[in-house]
Structure 1
């Protein structure tokens, strides 16, 4: 890891820490403020991949994973109104979702690197974001995976209701996942602008 990678490391660590804090604060009925900061991790990974290569991107992902694990461990020790701020299931879901999705993003980006400038960051982020959403919400809240940590009560997330208040009936956690996924997809498109600008500046430096 060279000094030139330090901004990427700091950015990834800051995003992970901020997301772990902001996920405690609700935004509307289906989201938390963390939903708007976490997707920026894909932007950092893609910029590192484009400018410094796959190995550098993987190192930055590893830093983010370690920081996330530390945040989760701290969260499990802080008691909120309904118990620990971070349950064991959420800690597992968060870590596994982040690492799997980010490494998948790195791999897909590398495969598409030589195509149109927008293709690698867009496709890798869309696929990574989708995988992250599926892994996190199913492990954290699905009643079928309660064996992961039986002591964690996620019955509230299994309440049957219309998806996003208007769609077909499904457990509440499905609405949370759909809303989160929609934000990630929207930000994946918007992130193409800073991706283009940042990579151009760094490669010209």
Structure 2
């Protein structure tokens, strides 16, 4: 009987090859996901205005807290998967700071903070229910959401501290250099320091004592560097958001 390999198995083998000779599909997917996040933010902004940006904040916060549980090999190092969608929330608060001011950006931080608390409570409540004998998903949910309290505590601290700094720093640099040609400076100067704060706080609170020190350091460095790349590459998109707003392409607040 001929040896038959299902195409799906071949795809899995292609994606999950060992580091020696592994094709760079993870890296390609990472850049594709980053571009998709940026485009989704602009789509939400174009369709729903400022409200769309507020909607994106809890989406990013909740998805990031689930994706962060998955470790992947990126550029030869261990990294958490949720760094793109989480880092995209800094682009959102920077757009709000630029187009609507500090008060609007601060409101988005509060929305994100509350969404983390609510999602943790509801996810934990789901685990309290006794599963049916026919249930097949409860163990998987326990594996994911069982870690949520510590992950969410880390996210709450990291999100609150880093985003508050980001809003403050963006407006600080905007007062120093208010011209449009300096948007890239205030966007990157505020975000990159905020990302450092976020990476330190989250890595220590979420993973300290559960992972070997070398893995912990690798996760911290890779997470920060990847978020730094996201912050650098989101710069054209904040310019696009500013241009869309000034050309009257953004609807009034819904």
With the length of structure 2 as denominator, give the TM-score of the two structures: 0.65
Which has the larger Rg?
2
Task: Identify the structure with bigger relative contact order (alpha carbons < 8 Å, sequence gap 6+).
Answer: 2
Q: Distance in 2 between matches of 1:193 and 1:83?
A: 35
Residues 166 and 194, structure 2, Cα contact 8 Å, conserved in 1: yes
Gaps of 5+ in 2: 1-47, 128-138, 249-254
Q: Give the secondary structure class of the aligned counterpart of 1:47.
A: helix
Q: Deviations over 1:98-152 (max 9, x none)?
A: 0110010000001101411211111110011000000111122224xxxxxxxxx
Residues 72 and 86, structure 1, Cα contact 8 Å, conserved in 2: no
- The alignment yields a C-alpha RMSD, in angstroms, of 2.1
Q: Distance in 1 between matches of 2:65 and 2:208?
A: 21
> Which residue does the alignment assign to 2:67?
22
Q: How many residues align?
A: 180
Residue 40 of structure 1 deviates from its aligned partner by 0.1
Aligned counterparts, 1:11-160, within 5 A: 11-28=56-73, 30-76=78-124, 78=127, 80=140, 84-114=145-175, 115=177, 116-143=182-209, 154=210, 157=211, 159=212
Q: Give the secondary structure class of the aligned counterpart of 2:109.
A: helix
Q: Deviations over 1:154-173 (max 9, x none)?
A: 2xx1x2xxxxxxxxxx4321
Q: Distance in 1 between matches of 2:68 and 2:208?
A: 19
Residue 95 of structure 1 deviates from its aligned partner by 0.5
Residue 87 of structure 1 deviates from its aligned partner by 4.2
Q: Distance in 2 between matches of 1:54 and 1:137?
A: 28
With the length of structure 1 as denominator, give the TM-score of the two structures: 0.79
Gaps of 5+ in 1: 144-153, 160-169
Residue 10 of structure 1 deviates from its aligned partner by 0.9
